[in-house]
Amino acid sequence: MTLAITDLIKTFAQPGGGSLTVLDVPTFNIAAGEQVALIGQSGGGKTTLLHLIAGLLAPDSGSIKIDSIELTKLSEEGRDRVRASSVGYVFQTFNLLPAFTAIENVRLGMTFGHGKQDAKRATELLGRVGLADRANYKPSQLSVGQQQRVAIARALAGKPKLLLADEPTANVDPNSAENVLELIRQSCQDEQIALLMVTHSMDVANRFDRVEKLDEINRAFSNAASH
Ligand SMILES: Nc1ncnc2c1ncn2[C@@H]1O[C@H](COP(=O)(O)OP(=O)(O)OP(=O)(O)O)[C@@H](O)[C@H]1O
């Protein structure tokens, strides 16, 4: 999988009227299997960039190519299909389904992905994130760090080619953060999944193949930062 972004512009209507250009990114690429850390100031557009790459949002203009697929030419349903087959997402807020158990949440990641649920892989993934004994617990019965690990297992379940992780260690203590981070990096390495992770920690970022400072590659930065 390669990701190639060119001349990407994203503008949001503002609550008080008018609009704000949050992203104006001439170029941004990720090579197959590459691990890239994305840093930048709060409100600088990191989550917005991840949402655009995942196809959860559409840009005003520009190109987002995942391999040979031009995401910006697809309908919302088309983008959903690309995400299901190729892109895993670990959300800041996890987005687990509260009515389902840990193992069911992981299996749902497969339903969205390859259609068929692979019970063995779901069990393996929960084991890999250290939650073999919590398979039948619901999110409300899990700690925040455990919920986060379920979210990681779910994101890996569909065998993505690219994993997007939005500050996955923001809500856990430093020791757990270290473990979660290594878990994500190692899993991506083992499965040859490219990784784009938002982080506020330079210590974390420095372990990646590459560190991208959004404020430097985003021409809208001074614009966004002044708001
Ligand atoms: N739906 C929306 N409507 C209007 N403005 C939005 C919307 N979503 C995001 N924004 C604005 O876009 C800017 C970038 O937001 P974004 O969440 O991408 O930043 P971020 O870099 O991820 O920040 P943080 O590090 O604090 O999570 C912010 O100024 C925000 O107010």
| Proportion of the chain above pLDDT 70, given as a percent | 94
ipTM summary value = 0.97
Q: Is residue 23 part of a domain?
A: no
Domain region containing 82? 32-59+75-218
pLDDT in tens, 201-214: 888 899 999 999 99
Hey, whose CA ends up nearest to atom 9 of ligand 1? 48
Task: Measure the CA–CA gap between 88 and 175, rounded to whole angstroms.
Answer: 24
CA-44 nearest atom, ligand 1: 21
Q: Is residue 136 part of a domain?
A: yes
Banded model confidence at residue 49, pLDDT cuts 50, 70, 90: very high
Q: Which CATH number fits the domain that encloses residue 96? A: 3.40.50.300
Distance 88 CA to ligand 1 centre (A): 21
Pair type for strands 87-90 and 69-70: unpaired
Banded model confidence at residue 169, pLDDT cuts 50, 70, 90: confident
User: What is the DSSP code (8-state) at residue 133?
Assistant: G
Distance 127 CA to ligand 1 centre (A): 35
pTM greater than 0.90: yes
How many structural domains compose the chain?
1
| 43 Cβ below 6 A of ligand 1 | yes
pLDDT in tens, 75-114: 999 999 999 889 999 988 888 999 999 999 999 888 665 5
Task: Measure the CA–CA gap between 64 and 52, rounded to whole angstroms.
Answer: 8
| 218 Cβ below 6 A of ligand 1 | no
Q: Give, for ligand 1, the residue of 23, 24, 47, 226 to mutate: max count of ligand atoms closer than 8 Å to Cβ.
A: 47
- Mean pLDDT of the region 146-163: 93
Residue 19 has pLDDT above 90, yes or no: yes
User: Is the separation of the CB atoms in 209 and 34 below 8 Å?
Assistant: yes
Q: Scan for tokens 């807020």, then name that residue.
A: 93
What pLDDT was estimated at residue 112? Answer: 61
When the pLDDT of each residue in the chain is averaged and rounded to a whole number, the result is 91
Q: Is residue 18 part of a domain?
A: no
What pLDDT was estimated at residue 114? Answer: 56
User: Is the separation of the CB atoms in 169 and 94 below 8 Å?
Assistant: no
Q: Is residue 224 part of a domain?
A: no
Residues with Cβ < 8 Å from 57, sequence gap 6 or more?
Answer: 10, 48, 51
Q: What does residue 40 show for φ and ψ, rounded to 5 degrees?
A: 160, 165
Give all strands (DSSP E) within the chain, no chain letters: 3-13, 19-30, 35-39, 61-66, 69-70, 87-90, 162-166, 194-198, 210-213
What pLDDT was estimated at residue 160? Answer: 93
Banded model confidence at residue 223, pLDDT cuts 50, 70, 90: low
Q: Is residue 69 part of a domain?
A: no
Q: Is residue 66 part of a domain?
A: no
Residue 56 has pLDDT above 60, yes or no: yes
Distance 42 CA to ligand 1 centre (A): 8
Q: Give, for ligand 1, the residue of 8, 11, 19, 22 to mutate: max count of ligand atoms closer than 8 Å to Cβ.
A: 22
